Amino acid sequence: MFAQLTSALDFHGKALVLRAERQRVIASNIANADTPGYIARDLNFRDAMANATLAGASQGAAPSSSPPDARHIPLASLTGELGSGSSLGYAVQTQPSMDGNSVDLDRERGNFVDNAVRYESTLRFINGYSKTILSAIQGQ
């Protein structure tokens, strides 16, 4: 019975973790907007959420994807946190630059705000669901 009550919270908890990870990736892109040769990354939320829900409780470590340049730092937190780094890909370059940087600041800022709003709405849903369960338990 308790598992049925918490299954929705489990789903939204995984979504919250993925939203936080995507926010970190977008923030990294914005921070490296002036880094020559930096290739923008993005988290495919749909694929990552499908992997997280299918994986369930089992979280096997996947091999880390190699960085596009030997000087780049690999994003190791995705492999440990989500179980699979396959949903982290490269963003499509929309504005070619002379230094090889593929970050489009306008797109990244838009993605950042969109992801922040979705993160906040997930938090609000979890809070509302928790209050509903608590009022049902208390008999109000």
Tens digits of per-residue pLDDT, 71-111?
665 554 444 444 444 578 888 788 778 888 999 999 999 99
Asked whether the beta carbons of 26 and 112 are under 8 A apart, the reply is: yes
Q: What is the pLDDT of residues 40-80, one digit of tens each?
A: 999 988 889 888 888 764 544 444 455 566 666 555 444 44
Q: How many domains does the chain have?
A: 1
| Cβ–Cβ under 8 Å, residues 42 and 103 | no
Give residue 137's pLDDT band: very low, low, confident or very high (50, 70, 90).
Answer: confident
Which residues pair with residue 89 across a beta bridge? Answer: 42
Q: Which residue segment(s) compose the domain that 52 sits in?
A: 2-138
Give dist(CA 40, CA 101) in Å, integer. 8
